[in-house]
Every structure is written in C-alpha cells, then in structure tokens.
Amino acid sequence: MTGTPTTPTLTLVHLYPREMNIYGDTGNVLVLRRRLQWRDLPVTVVPVSVGDPMPADADILLGGGGQDAAQGDIGADFVGRGAELRAMADDGVVMLAICGSFQMLGHEFVTHEGRRIEGVGVLDVVTHGQRERLIGNNWVDTAGELDAGRLVGYENHSGLTTLGSDARPLGRTQTGRGNNGRDRTEGAVRDNVIGTYLHGPVLAKSPRFADELLQRAYRRRGADVELAPLDDTLPLQAATVAAGRPR
C-alpha cells in the first residue's frame, strides 16, 4: 500500500541517540523508517536527548543499549521522565527498548556490588548485575507470545533480568542465554511495550517483527493500513547465518 491523504504520519522517537547506541541499535530506527518509506508511507523521526521535550504525538519510541558510563549520564533524565513514560505506555504508545533501556524501564537494577539504581516501572522486571557477561547470537521463538516469528540478535549483557507477574516474555531462547541464562525467557512484553536484550540491530534481521511494531502503531491511531509486502530475502538470509553462529 502507498500513503493516502488520510494515512497518518508515524512519529518515531529515538531516545538518547548519542548515549544509548551500542552494537548498532540506531539501526532499529533506520529499519522502521525505511520500511515505511519503501511503501510511500509518511514518517518523521524525532531524536530526544537529555533535557529535550518528548513530542506529544509519539507513535513509536525506540531506546538502545549503552556502556555503563552512558547509562549513568542519562539516568537522572530517564527517571525524571518516569511519569511521562508510564503515561505513554498506558496510552498504548509502541516502545522497543534494548538492553540498558530495557533494564531502566523496569523497577530497578541492582549492581553486583549491591548498589540499587531506580527504574521507571513501565515493565514489571528487576535486574541484578553480575561479573560474568552473557554474550553471543541469540535465536528467539516468539510463537504464542507475539506475532513476530523468529527473532535473531546479538546479546552482550551482565544483568540478569527476572520477570514479575505483570510481564510476559517476548519469547523463548533456542540458542543463547536470554534474560538470565536460567529460564530460557528473552525480553519482556506489556501491552505495546517490548524490552529485549537483542542487539544487531534486531529489526534488521527480523522484518516480521518490524512490521508488527508498525501495525501496532497504526492500530493505536485507528488507521486501517495494510502494509504492502517487501522483498525480505536479504534480511532473512542474514538471520539464518547469524542463528548458525553462536558467537
């Protein structure tokens, strides 16, 4: 489908693009923008850094992972946006939070030294740090959890995340370690809010997941937009190769 005068312009918010952009997570913004542009559907991208106002018309919010120092740089600003982020989640805004952003959407992160870092409580998850890192390609089956098929991404984190009763996993790991290396869960979902440890960027090798996020954004706007098929041969080939490489 191509855009019509009544097709809403989707506003993609890129949260902390300079500080939280490790392992190519900015690519998730590029993937969504290009998949809309290839279909002649209108889109705008708004970067939001420390101190910047959040656009009132946000449709999809994307946050990446960052080094520990970077998370410290944006921590106070992120927590200060807590009420706003919770209201956006309650209003159905689509959110994709990777690694550090995922952790900060939870209730808290406890470092391996025992220091507690406050989260914003959008997702019912708690993360505890450890010295060992969970590293490698991860193949995740979302069957029964989210209509996104197989997801392939790269994990590199030392936080062990546990889901509470109000969060469900994004999927189950087929390879890789997932949230904590114990229960095979990967990520967390609450309504239109999705957290995951999959870098890569994950949407570049998971086109069905990318389109699911776009469809959710359109449905929230009350727009009946049918996404025209795209040639996803290359991203699916990349996913197959990555899934076969443990590191």
Known binding site: residues? 133
- Say which of 14, 99, 128, 157 is annotated catalytic: 99
Q: E strands along 52-164, which residues?
A: 60-63, 94-98, 108-110, 116-118, 125-141, 150-163
CB 175 within 8 A of CB 246: yes
d(CA 196, CA 154): 10
Structure tokens at 131: 């010295």
Annotated binding residues for substrate, written as ranges, equal 133
Cβ count near 37 (within 10 Å) = 12
- Say which of 14, 107, 157, 199 is annotated catalytic: 199
Which residues are CB-contacts of 131 (< 8 A; sequence separation ≥ 6)?
Answer: 112, 158
CB 135 within 8 A of CB 156: yes
Active site residue 199: yes
Active site residue 157: no
Torsion (CA) 9, 14, 15, 19 in degrees, nearest 10 = -170
CA distance readout (Å), 104 to 57, 81, 116: 23, 11, 12
Residue positions annotated with a catalytic role? 99, 199
